[in-house]
Chains A and B, each alone.
Chain A
Amino acid sequence: MTGLSTFLRVIWIASGVLQLAILVLIFVRRHYRYLPLFSMYIGLNLAQAVILFNVYRHYGFNSAPSFRIYWATQVLTMIAETLASTELLRRALQDYPGIWELSWRIILFAILVVIGYSWTTANRTDQWGLLYAIRGYYIIFAVAFIACLLLARHYSIAIDRVYQVLIGGFCFYACGSFVADTLLKQQIMQSFPKYSEVWNSSEMLIFFVVLVAWTVALWHPVRVSAEGPGPGDVNYETFAPQVNARLRELNDSLRKFFGRQVSES
């Protein structure tokens, strides 16, 4: 594999081994039953690594076909990443359908923003168009998922530790990636002879850290559903809208109250 430094090779192989370990854990611990999209994401990542290994060996790391194949497979991985993290969030909020309803709207809005942003940046003629699109994706990904976690926090929802680590890992990787992408674009970096290697190494190191955290987390069983009667109970479904209607009335009356105070003053 010409053009690939020893450090990159080592970290790449280590990441591959860890991903394989995660995949084994997923099957041994039967996590695939509850996390099929996450399992698919890890599988896809591993498949991408195998494909790229052969491509780099055949064409070399810095060749045009390698570049094209990398980005083509990367788009698939990124779609799988979004689906996997959405699945994790849905699982984490499975006992809170109302909050999940708010969360998926945030994610959907973020997806639309990513598509819009990518559409705009893809029309750039310079070499950085693709990088801008990827950076936009990671920023919006991080903002959307962290916003969902903040929403859960606002409603005092305790997310299971395994889901916390898995979702947190995705967010951490997204934050690290957009900083690395920004770093790559810097003029000062481009003065170094192998500046692209810094970008590759930093992204792979961040991913490696995330993989370590995921391996530890997936060692534990994932929480399937809440104990005792949940909000899906027939009784609850009848009462909760009434309580919500009451709260709405309360909000309306307080608004009227404020309106009166303002007009009096």
Chain B
Amino acid sequence: MTSTLIVFSSAAVLLLAALIWALRAPRRLSRGNFDLNALEQPGRQHATYLSLIRRAASSDDLAFLSKRGYGKLQSRLHRERRKVVLLYLDRLRCDFERLTKMARAVAAVSPSVGVRQELERAQLSFEFVTRYYAIRLAFGWGFVPMAQLSQLSQMVSQLSIQMETSMREFGERAAMAVRTPASPLD
């Protein structure tokens, strides 16, 4: 067995695995079976809780408890608040994923898909995931990167608002076109 054979056989195995994965039926189909309810839900379901999370992550309450001598309570509160912030972070990621999925569904049924646009979206997703893991890592090391968390939340909010506007306009124009099929579309 030479290295060439190992390299080519591994490549074949990887390609076949990719083929099987690609041919496996997706759970949500972009046509016919796409979850339309997902489009109606507000995209920033969790991003709106940022102020509460900011409060939960602040050290004022912990400092107060520490000053009063409630050491045990302080550490328990710290632990539980950390859990809440991490949960919030996870939900934020779900929001973002749902929004990008929505964008992909729109692109899938579009008669023309711009390569640049799609690459930009991929880059955006990559940036989000990088920031997400950086924040998680920071939490793991005991830091509370509140500024970064706010940025992430703002990013989802912005994405969501624009997606909602696009979808609403899309729906309104479609409805208008159905009502007046002969009139020129604005």
Contact = CB atoms under 8 A, between A and B. Distances in A.
Interface string B88-117: 000000000000010111111111111101
A255 B120 contact: yes
Given A243-B106, A247-B166, A250-B163, A236 B30 contact: no
A251 B115 CA distance: 13
Interface residues of A, number: 64
A153 B177 CA distance: 32
B22 A153 contact: yes
A216 to B, nearest CB: 15
B113 A99 contact: yes
B40 interface: no
Nearest to A97: B111
Contact of B110 (A98, A150, A164): A98
A11 interface: no
Contacts of A149: 19, 22-23
A97 B178 CA distance: 23
Number of contact residues on B: which range applies?
A: 35 or more
B103 A247 contact: yes
B159 A179 contact: no
A126 interface: no
A154 B170 CA distance: 23
A248 B11 CA distance: 36
Contacts of A220: none
B63 interface: no
B108 A96 contact: yes
A172 B107 contact: no
Interface string A172-187: 1001101100110111
B12 A175 contact: yes
14 contacts: A96-B109, A105-B115, A156-B28, A156-B29, A158-B25, A175-B12, A178-B11, A186-B5, A226-B32, A228-B32, A239-B174, A243-B170, A247-B121, A255-B120
Interface of A: 95-99, 101-102, 105, 135, 139, 142-143, 146, 149-150, 152-159, 164, 168, 171-172, 175-176, 178-179, 182-183, 185-188, 226-228, 231-232, 235-244, 246-251, 253-255, 257-258, 261
Interface of B: 1-2, 4-5, 8-9, 11-12, 15-16, 18-19, 21-26, 28-34, 101, 103-115, 117-118, 120-121, 124, 127, 151, 154-155, 158-159, 162-163, 165-167, 169-170, 173-174, 177-178, 185
